[in-house]
Amino acid sequence: MAESSMLQTCGHPRPHKREGPKARFGRGRVATVWSILLSAVIACNPQTQETAVNQGISVIPQPAFVQQEEGAFTLDKNTTIYLEAGDSAILRTVGFLNERLEKAAGFTLPVVTDDPLAHGNEKGIFWLSAGWKPESYTLRAGQDRIVVEYADGAGAFYGLQTLLQLLPEAIFADTPQRGVRWEVPCCSIEDAPRFAYRGMHLDCCLHFFDIPFLKRYIDLMALHKVNRFHWHLTEDQGWRLEIKQYPLLTEKGQWRKETVIGSLSSGIYDGTPHGGYYTQEEVRDLVRYAAERYVTIIPEIEMPGHALAAIACYPELSCGLEDHYETATRWGIFKQVFCPKEETFTFLENVMDEVFALFPSTLVHIGGDECPKTSWKQCPHCQALIRKEGLKDEFELQSWFIQRMEKYINAKGHEIIGWDEILQGGLAPNAKVMSWLGEEGGIKAAQQHHEVVMAPYPKYYLDYWQADPDSEPLAMGGPTTLRTMYEYNPVPEILTPEERKYVIGVEGCVWTEYMPTPARVEYMAWPRMCAIAESGWTTREKDWDGFTRRLETHLARLDRLGVGYCDAFFNPFIEFHKDTPADKVVTISVDAPDTEIRYTLDGSEPTVASQLYEQPFVINRQQVVTAAAFRGGKQIGTTKHKAF
């Protein structure tokens, strides 16, 4: 039967009309596609969205439309993959499926590359191209076949990520799993992204991370349909990218002699040099690796501030107000910034030329944040330049600096994006804004009809505590919980419908002052990045209860992948609120669904018989709150304590 009649017969009409497969098939060809492949895919016995979650449709990010049916498709070594001949990108994508199967199931599936429709009566997994919007796909699973239709290579890849999440979580294991039935629940899924830009940032300057970890980071992004890797490569504390014309940047600028212990104000240092950089060959390899997973790498070269590592190598790039420059050993903002003179622009243009040769991305990030004006105010050259160009002040000088660099970058066929501060003194004509200082910068840019990526702190800052700071390692601030990140709406209500079109995406930011190891990065990023990924992809209305139910299943997948995520999801979060000097008001929450919280005030361990938390309560100075979450009479997660 035709697609539309099939869905209507199932009692669940399509949420919106889509075009069918590409016109090159012809009208008769379209009929053949649906009659041979789809009419037998799904038994018409639909379940609700909620039932689908409970029965095995727990995909993150949530697809636009999901309908589960009775039955399942069983995948075994006799299952064949059928796809169109000559499509190397799709061949690579199904290769990822076979890689997973080889590790977890101990077998791979044969792949036939000719005309999938010639095999329409056979059991298997069929991949068909269709003329839809970029990155979109549909997946229909019946007891005899799975049909994935995709708009482009990215759509096919995202269809695969959904297919993997429909399989048992054991598919993400790295060793053969015995006794697993590799079943996909019968279902119909239609999906397309909310935003074109769905980003994840990683600062590799405050702490250096090697290429194998970056590949793992990209793999986790791709699993969640995140398609932009914002790679922070230059900072006051270290320059990480090989630039052949300026070898000192990595010979010297990669190193800092030691690193502050604790916060930037502790005054205590470890006495150990820290460094690391990426060769151009390593960069090319990572760019290829990411592209195969439909992730575009956006490099960030900071200017005019956060430039101390470069200035330590080439002091002539500064205003020359000091006789010695050294790569920073603590965190924070430094007054030593690029001086807007010809030597500096020659340097930056030469650097950008090598960056353009390494990164195919049209978009490049030029930073632009936290640029103190102290040196510029004291610099005779800067003051003369302000007068010569008729600028009002140093803020307009920064705008002049950014606009000059934008002209050069645009002339080379690239576009710039920068942090909110590039708005200061006037926004460069073609610039995009990454809004981090709350929403104000993003709102202002969108109102000026400049494209915006929303990455506001603390809402999307993953270096903030995600649980009670009293029981967590040092972080930047917060807390910013999983629920906070999930419920944040990245399109501000104040914008008009026309202005909202300029919000092109979202990004989670990982600054690594307090993340010296890959394990710490993963702990801080996950599972909160799941919430940001869902906001970037999903067009459905937010549903915290539904998200947490899907996430609990999803955490088992992250377990299989060895991701050391924060387990605060299962733990009570005890918060004290000021009242009088003699008391505090207590609230307790837990992210895990279908749980109850039991607590005591005398320091004893909570049990299922302890006081049930139902509403906020008051404690005095001598009482200690001890709480645990329970489900079905059994404790989940860790017992938490908090004293006055």
Q: Which two tokens stand for residue 318?
A: 């500064």
Whether residue 458 has a cis bond before it, omega within 30° of 0: yes
Closest CA to 8 of 43, 44, 40, 33: 44
Closest CA to 151 of 136, 172, 166: 136
Closest CA to 12 of 68, 70, 71: 68
Residues 6+ apart with CB under 8 A from 426: 396, 399, 403
Topology classification of domain 571-643? Immunoglobulin-like (2.60.40)
Strand 573-580, strand 583-589: pairing = antiparallel
- Contact between 644 and 580 under an 8 Å Cβ cutoff? The reply is no
Closest CA to 238 of 315, 300, 329, 323: 329
Closest CA to 450 of 499, 488, 402, 484: 499
Q: Which two tokens stand for residue 495?
A: 């914008």
Q: Which residues pair with 624 in a beta bridge?
A: 602, 643
The tally of CA atoms less than 13 A away on the side-chain side of residue 21 is: 22
Topology classification of domain 197-540? TIM Barrel (3.20.20)
- The pLDDT of residue 85: 85
Point out the residues of the chain with pLDDT beneath 70.
1-56
Q: What is the pLDDT of residues 99-148, one digit of tens each?
A: 999 999 999 999 999 988 888 789 999 999 998 899 999 999 999 999 99
**Top CATH class, 3-191:** alpha beta
Q: Which residues of 519-550 are buried (b: 16+ CB within 10 A; e: fewer)?
A: ebbbbbbbbbbbbbbbbbbbebeebeebbbbb
Chain centroid to Cα 472, Å, comes to: 23
Closest CA to 43 of 20, 15, 73, 18: 73
- The pLDDT of residue 569: 95
Q: What is the pTM of this model?
A: 0.92
Question: What's the first-to-final CA gap in the chain, in angstroms?
Answer: 67
Domain range list for the chain: 3-191, 197-540, 571-643
Q: Which residues pair with 573 in a beta bridge?
A: 589
- The pLDDT of residue 56: 65
